[in-house]
Chains A and B, each alone.
Chain A
Amino acid sequence: MSIVGTKVIRKEDPNLLTGRGQFVDDIQLTGTTHMAFVRSTEAHALIKGIDVSAALECEGVIGAWTAADLELPPLPGVPGLERPALAIDKVRFVGEAVAVIVAESKYAAADGTELVIVDYEPLGAVTSIEEATAEDAPLLYEELGSNTVAEVPTEDDHQAIFDAAPHTETIKLVNNRCTAAPIETNACLADYGPAGLTIWASFQAPHHLRNRISAWLDIPQDQCRVITPDVGGGFGQKINFTPEFFVAPVLSKILNRPVKYSQTRSEAMTSMYHGRAQEQEVSVAFDNEGKIQALKVFASQDMGGYADGTGMGMPVLTTAMSAGCYVIPNVSIAWRNVLTNTTPIAAYRGAGRPEATYLIERAMDHIAYKLDMDPTEVRRRNYIPKDSFPYPTHSELAVYDSGNFEGALDELLNIMDYESLREEQAANRENSQKPLLGIGFSSWLEIAGFGPPGSLEGFGHLGSWESVQIRIQPDGSAIIYTGASPHGQGTVTTFAQIASEYLGIDYEKISVRHGDTATIPQGIGTMGSRQVAVGGEGVKNASLKIVENAKSIAAHKLEANPEDIEVADGSLFVKGTPSKNLTWAEVATFSFQRLELPETMDPGSLDTTILQEVPNFSFPSGAYACVIEIDRQTGDARIRDMYLVDDCGTVINPLLAEGQVHGGVAQGIAQALYEEFSYDENGQPTTATFIDYLMPGAPDLPSYISGRINTPNPNNSLGAKGIGESGSVGTPPAVMNAVVDAVRHLGVTHIDMPATPQKLWEILQGGSK
C-alpha cells in the first residue's frame, strides 16, 4: 500500500509530548546573559535624550546601550526606508526598540528597562490610512514629503463599461489588522565567540536570516550559524528582520558571553509585525443575469511605522488574486502603501490572499443582494469552467493551473442540507425565541506553492527553490536534510512519507533534519504553502535519483541490467526473480566501498542534493460554508457549523492536511468574529495583551465538517498544491457572508470585521446600516 496519502501519526510528537522539545528559551548555555529592550511609549515623537544611568546602577545589570552607543547600520529593508535597529532621534510606533539592557537574569534585565528615562517630544500621530493621507498629516519621514511610500495607479479603469452596465455596486471594505500571535513569541540566543557567531532563533527561514546577519555584521557566512530549533508557531510572523536578531549578536560580541532574548507577550503584541490592515474600494459592473462585466479594486495597505518589503507586497498579491474563481473580462487594479504610527505590517498566514478572497466574495454576495438571487447561483454563473486551465488572469503573476470551482460547490452542497437551513432560517426569523440564522458561502482560490523563479526573490529571498539532500546511511536508513524550516506543519512526517514511497525504505528508517545553516544545504524556508509543492517534490526527485544509483549498484552485484532491478519493501531485486536480491542495507554499504562498485561509479553515490524548482505557483481552491447563529438579546454570533471543501491536489497525509485546514479556519474565524488590533487616536495600542486581543479559545470555535475534491497540480509530479494557508483565505468571507445573511432582512448589506456582539447588538436595536 502506498504510504503517500495515508494517515500516519507524526514523528515529531514524542519529544513534544514529553517536554523534550527544544525551543530557543529552553537552551541553557554557560554564562548566558539576558537582554531586554526599552520600548517606545510614544507613537510618534522626537527623542530628546535617553538616560540609562539609573539602569546601570541596578543590581544584576551588565550594560545599557542606545543607538548612539552602538552606531549600528540600519536593519535589512527597503532601500531608503530601512528601520534602525534601535530608534535614532525619532520613534514611529509604540513598541519600537529605543534602548537595550543586558543583565545577569531576566528579572534584572526587566528591572533595568524600568529605570531608563527617555525624554520624548511628541509629534502628532497618524493611526489610520485616512489620517496619514490627509493634506496636513504629520509625516513619518519628513524628507519623503508624504506618508504614501508607493502607489500604483490603474492602467485602465474601464469606466465606459461601468457607465453602460445594467448594474454596478461599490463597496468599501476594511480588512482588520490582526496579529498572528504564535504562542511562542520571538526569541533568540546569540553566542559570538572567537570562531564566529551561532544564533538560535525562533524563525521560519534560517538561511535567510543567516545571510542577512552575516552581511549586516560583515562576517563570512561560514562563520555565522543560525539554528532554528523547535519553533512554536510562525504563521508568517517569524520571517521578519526585527531588531533582536541583530542586536543580540552585537552585544554577545561586546560582552564575550551568550546573550538570550525571550520576548514577553506584551512586547510581542506591539513589536512582532502585524498582518492584514488593508482598506479596499471595490466596484463591480454586472448584467441582469448576475454575470460580472468588470471589477475595479483599489487597495490601500497600512504599512505601520516602517515599510517592510514583504508588507509592501501584500496589495500586490491581493490585486493579483482579486478576480477569484470567476471569469471577469475587465479587471482594473490599483494600490498604495501608506505609513502610519502603528506596528509595521508584513505577512500573516495567507498574506494578501485572504484580503483578495474577502473582497471578491463579499462582492459576489452584494450582486446576489441586488438581484435577489441565491448566493450559490451568482457564483455558478461566473465560475471559470473546469476545462479552462491553464487560465490566464488580468495579472501576470497568476496563471491558474487547475481547479474545479463548481465541483467544489457541488461537493459542499452535498455535505450540507442547504434547503433545510434556508427553511430553518425563515422559521427562526418569525420566532423571537430563536436566534437569527445566517448561511454564508465562499468560493475561494489562492496563490501558493511559492514559487517559480523570481517569486520569492521579490520578497528578498535568495531563490524560490527549496533544498533537499538525502544521504543513505551504511545501514540502509536515510537522513533527509532540507532548507524547509517547519514549525508545526509536520514536515518531518510528510517528507519521510514521500521518501519512503519513492526510496522503498521503511518510513521508520527515515529521519528529516532541518533548521541549521551549518549542516543543511542552503535553503529558503517555510512560508507561502510551499513545503510539499516545492520541497516535497524535491524529496521525490532526490529519492528517484538515489534509487537510480542504487539500482546500478544492485545490478552490478546481482549481474543483472539496472533496468531490471526493482525496489520494494526494503530490498532491491531482479524483476521476476525476487530471490535474487540485496537488502537496502547491503546496497547502502556497497555504495561506500570502492571494491564493490562498478568501475564507472565512485563511492558516495547514494547522497544527493537537489535545489527543487517549480515552473508555476500552485492554486489551492475550495468552497466553504458557514452557518451562524446570532443571539437576539446580546448580539453574540456563534458558528454552528463550518462546512469545508478543499482542493489542495494530492494529499500526502490526510490527518495533517486536516490539521492545517482546521488551524487556518480557526484563524479565519478569529479575524471575522473576534480579533482586531486597534489603537486610540494617539497611537496607543488598545489590544496589546491577550486580555484585550480576543484570541479564541476552545469554547469559541466549532467543530468542522470536511469534504474534499482533487484536481492535481500539473506543475509538480506529486500533484500537490499546498494547504497551509487555505483555511485563513477561505474562511473570513464565508463567516461574514453568514453574519450579514442573518440580519439581511433588516436591510443590512455590510458589516466590517470583526462582527463583535456590540456591532450586531446595535444593528438588532434598529441601528441598521
Chain B
Amino acid sequence: MSYPTSININGNAYHKSVDPRTLLVHFIREECGLTGTHIGCDTSNCGACTVLLDGNAVKSCTVLAVQANNHEITTVEGLANDDGSFTPVQEGFRQEHGLQCGYCTPGMLMAATALLDEIPNPSEQEIRENLEGNLCRCTGYEMIVRSVQWAAQNPDGIPVQIGESS
C-alpha cells in the first residue's frame, strides 16, 4: 500500500507515493535525492538527520514521511542564501573549525539554526544543552560551541561564495 505524499523541501514541492512506514529521512534521501541529510543511528540519539519541519528542528528518522505531508521542510541544502553565500551558522562552523569529518554537520547546522532562531544570544550552557540531541565524535564540541557563538555574534555573517576557500 502506498500513500500520495506532498512535501515542500527547500521551496520545491515533491509529490511521491510512499509506503506508509517510510521515514522522512528516507523520503528526503532516497526519494528526493537530497543526500545532505545523514543517518547515524537507529534510535533517534545522534541527530545527524535533523531538519527543520515548519521551522522547528526535528529528527527526520523519527517522523514518518506521511506525517510531513503538506508541510515544509528545510534541509542543509536549503540553508545557504540564493547567491550561494553562507548563513551565519554555516560561516561560524567554517571560521571556528566546527566540523572535522562533516558527517554530523548537517544535523548540527540545522539544530544550531533552530536554536539561534529561538535564542539569538545563547550562553555557552544554552548552546550545549540545546545541541544535546546531536552527537559529534570528532570535535569534542567546544569548537561547535564556538561556531554557534560566532554565528550569534555575526548575525549578518560574511558573504563567502561556495567554492572559495579562505
Contacts and interface: CB of A to CB of B under 8 A. Distances in A.
B132 A9 contact: no
B16 interface: no
A14 B85 CA distance: 10
Interface in B84-110: 86, 90, 93-95, 97, 99-106, 109
Contact of A17 (B109, B124, B133): B109
A656 B43 contact: no
A233 B127 contact: no
B127 A659 contact: no
A254 interface: no
A232 B35 contact: no
B140 A508 contact: no
Interface string A20-51: 11110110100000000000000000000000
B52 interface: no
Given A14-B164, A19-B106, A689 B41 contact: yes
B132 A698 contact: yes
B163 interface: yes
A593 interface: no
A232 B142 contact: no
A183 B163 CA distance: 25
A704 interface: yes
Contacts of A655: 97
Interface string A678-716: 000000000001110001011101011000000000000
Given A14-B163, A655-B97, A665-B140, A232 B135 contact: no
B10 to A, nearest CB: 10
A690 B43 contact: yes
A489 interface: yes
B144 interface: yes
Of B45, B75, B93, chain A has the most CB atoms within 10 Å of the CB of B45
B165 interface: yes
Interface in A173-232: 180-185, 230-232
Interface in A662-680: 662-667
A488 B36 contact: no
B50 interface: no
Given A488-B100, A690-B41, A704-B140, A21 B145 contact: no
Nearest to B160: A14
Contacts of A634: none
Query: From DSSP, what is the main secondary structure of chain B's interface residues?
Result: loop
Contacts of B131: 697-698
A698 B95 CA distance: 19
Contacts of A182: 101, 103, 137
B59 interface: no
Given A8-B166, A18-B80, A26-B35, A704 B41 contact: no
A389 interface: no
A487 B128 CA distance: 25
A77 interface: no
A690 B105 contact: no
Contact of A183 (B35, B103, B145): B103
A232 B103 contact: yes
- Interface size class on chain B is 35 or more
B40 A265 contact: yes
A107 B41 CA distance: 16
A9 B166 contact: yes
A183 B135 contact: yes
B104 to A, nearest CB: 5
Contacts of B77: 18-19
Contact of B97 (A15, A105, A659): A659
B141 A666 contact: yes
A12 interface: yes
B21 A19 contact: no
Contact of A663 (B29, B102, B132, B139): B139
A690 B61 CA distance: 14
Contact of A265 (B43, B79, B106, B128): B43
B12 to A, nearest CB: 14
A663 B46 contact: no
A130 interface: no
Contacts of A663: 100, 137-140
Given A662-B142, A698-B127, A14 B34 contact: no
Nearest to A508: B165
A13 interface: yes
B110 to A, nearest CB: 10
B128 to A, nearest CB: 4
B39 interface: yes
Contacts of A666: 139-141
Interface string A164-180: 00000000000000001
Nearest to A184: B103
Given A18-B36, A19-B75, A25-B39, A488 B138 contact: yes
A664 B140 CA distance: 8
A761 interface: no
A16 interface: yes
Contact of B40 (A10, A183, A487, A659): A183
A265 B42 contact: yes
Contact of B139 (A25, A105, A106, A662): A662
B134 interface: yes
Interface string A644-668: 0000000000011011001111110
B26 A106 contact: yes
B96 to A, nearest CB: 8
B136 interface: yes
A184 B38 CA distance: 8
A315 B134 CA distance: 34
A619 interface: no
Contacts of B75: 19
B18 to A, nearest CB: 10
B36 A691 contact: no
Contacts of A9: 94-95, 97, 165-166
A230 B102 contact: yes
Contact of A233 (B94, B137, B143): B137
B42 A18 contact: no
A318 B94 CA distance: 37
A93 interface: no
Contacts of A232: 38, 40, 101-104
Contacts of B76: 17-19
B101 A488 contact: yes
A235 interface: yes
A704 B22 CA distance: 42
A28 B33 CA distance: 8
Nearest to A16: B102
B41 A13 contact: no
A695 B137 contact: yes
Contacts of B21: 107
Given A19-B35, A184-B38, A666-B140, A699 B129 contact: yes
Given A689-B43, A691-B45, A18 B140 contact: no
A264 interface: yes
A9 B164 CA distance: 11
B50 to A, nearest CB: 12
Contacts of B93: 13, 17
Interchain residue pairs A-B with the least CB separation, the first 6: A19-B36, A232-B103, A16-B102, A666-B140, A488-B101, A488-B100
Given A507-B166, A695-B137, 20 more contacts: A10-B94, A10-B165, A18-B77, A18-B79, A107-B26, A183-B40, A183-B104, A184-B101, A232-B38, A232-B102, A232-B103, A264-B42, A488-B100, A659-B100, A662-B141, A662-B142, A663-B139, A689-B41, A689-B42, A691-B45
Interface of A: 8-23, 25-26, 28, 105-107, 180-185, 230-233, 235, 262, 264-266, 487-490, 507-508, 655-656, 658-659, 662-667, 689-691, 695, 697-699, 701, 703-704, 727
6 contacts: A16-B102, A18-B36, A19-B76, A655-B97, A663-B100, A704-B140
Interface of B: 19, 21-22, 26, 29-30, 33-43, 45-46, 48, 75-77, 79-80, 86, 90, 93-95, 97, 99-106, 109, 124-125, 127-129, 131-145, 162-166
